[in-house]
Amino acid sequence: MNIKKLLFVLAMLSIVIALGACSDTEDANTSEADDGEKVLKVAALESAYGKEMWHQIAESYEALNDGVKVELTIEKNLEQVIRPKMQAGEFPDVLLLATNRPEAMTETMIKANGLEKINDVFEMTIPGEDQTVNEKLLEGFTDTLATNPYADGDTYLAPMFYSPTGLFNNAGLFKGKGWEVPTTWDEMWKLGEKAKEEGIALFTYPTTGYFDTFVGSLMYAVGGSDFFNAAMQYEDGIWETKEAEKVLKTIEKLAEYTHPNTVANANPKDFTKNQQLILNNEALFMPNGTWVVGEMKEAPRADNFEWGITAIPAFEEGGDRYAFTFFEQMWIPAKAENKETAKDFIAYMYSDEAAQIFLDSGAVQPIKGLTDKLEGQKQTFYSIYEDESVLPAMGTFASTKPVPGANISDVLYGQIDSVMSGELTYKDWQASIEEVSDRLRSAMK
């Protein structure tokens, strides 16, 4: 283990220790401002949506709640900013910090039982309205391991900004060439051969981390939710099944059609070079989310460029196709001082007022009817599910007790560069995934 990784592990461990060392007092020791106002500490990751929307949210919530002051911490490097305070036992009351971040702070908190259960939030009447949170939420968003990490029916993370993911492409190129966007893998391979004749690669990817939604969609397509959920809960032998083999072999075959520069650029520093391949008509498809439009808004592009998105192809004609839904999560630390106010604040996130503030900044929440307000390109992306053959896929791996050296994401996604370069066969890849899955199954809570 290198020194950088060791320091990170020690930092995460100190947070876990702080969780155990803090007192169990909750609202009895509520933080108060000098004028006697209750202080609600809200920490949120600053993403492409910017900071301003959070200041508007704070003002609108305070206007509804006389005597409450919202104290904001909005940072791009949120983990580094709040970690020292959490190590000292000072926790925010509410965090907007999703899973699948490089520092894995949210996963660390989950493994340490550091999140507050929030089942009751979804039964709450939204502040300033007469509907409950559940009545406004789109179906399925609180029935996944991304919100119920212990697979026990209890919810610990609230779904926030969501984005359909899929295979992004230049729709203008397809129109110009008269090519049809493939709906099956057989059609995909045929298109790959046709594109190869014109010097265009079928596929690229920003980094291997972008395969989380791609692999998830493949798993749904080959075996439905039963297969996906079995894998997410480390069922014995699941990665040795014919379904798993089909998923892994499909990715291995993609290596034959992947742009030769992809692996070299598939890192945090150079990943936009791979995304640029789509804009330059050097590759046809890449797995990504709607945020890519903002990331590449200043990048040069082909004259005919027009962003397009399609679902992951089906394995047979007429089969279901899936577009994985990525969403950010909001949660309450178990050691937060203002839990009841924090729950009220989360419920307010689903109000019409809050949803419009977020929407004005480009952030879309899983609220019924909200996509009707979208226009142009954004509406095109979110309408991907209007195709009857395209279904949403959601979920992530169940939380386990920490197992040294056993990280399912590292082996399932992190080894894809080696598969693409031909250094690792799907058989060896399959064996390594099953081995780690077995170790994590024994650590399931």
C-alpha dist (Å) from residue 152 to 100, 123, 155, 315, 397 = 21, 18, 9, 32, 13
In single-letter form, the type of residue at position 285 comes to F
The answer on pLDDT for 14 being more than 60 is no
Find tokens 């560069």 and name the residue: 417
> What gap in Å lies between CA 213 and CA 395, rounded to an integer?
9
Decide: 91 and 112 in contact? Cβ < 8 Å.
no
- Taking the CA atoms of the chain, what radius of gyration do you get in angstroms? 22
- Nearest 5°: the CA angle 141, 322, 363 is 50
Find tokens 């991304």 and name the residue: 146
Chain centroid, CA 235 distance in Å: 23
Question: In a 10 Å sphere around its CB, with 0-12 CB exposed, 13-18 middle and 19+ buried, how is residue 178 labelled?
Answer: exposed
Structure pTM? 0.77
Count the neighbouring beta carbons within 10 Å of the beta carbon of residue 362: 18
The answer on pLDDT for 6 being more than 90 is no
> What gap in Å lies between CA 208 and CA 227, rounded to an integer?
22
CATH 3.30.450.70 fits 3-163+326-393, yes or no: no
> Higher-confidence residue: 370 or 8?
370
| CATH number for the segment(s) 167-324+400-441 | 3.40.190.10
Find tokens 């089969």 and name the residue: 319
**The domains spanning 3-163+326-393 and 167-324+400-441 adopt the same CATH topology:** yes
Decide: 341 and 38 in contact? Cβ < 8 Å.
yes
pLDDT of residue 263: 98
The stretch 372-384 carries a mean pLDDT of: 88
* SS3 state at 27: helix
- The ranges assigned to domains in the chain are 3-163+326-393, 167-324+400-441
Which of 130, 186, 127, 175 is CA-nearest to residue 342?
A: 127
pLDDT band of residue 35 (cuts 50, 70, 90) is low
State the maximum Cα–Cα separation within the chain, in Å, rounded to a whole number. 72
The answer on pLDDT for 392 being more than 90 is no
Phi, psi of 214 (to 5 degrees): -65, -50
User: With the C-alpha atoms ordered 205, 210, 211, 216, is the resulting torsion angle positive or negative?
Assistant: negative
pLDDT tens profile 129-170: 999 999 999 988 898 889 999 888 899 999 999 989 999 999
The stretch 275-290 carries a mean pLDDT of: 97
pLDDT tens profile 302-351: 999 999 999 999 999 999 999 999 899 999 999 999 999 999 999 999 99
The answer on pLDDT for 48 being more than 50 is yes
The answer on pLDDT for 36 being more than 70 is no
**Helical pair 352-360 and 52-64, crossing angle rounded to 10 deg:** 160
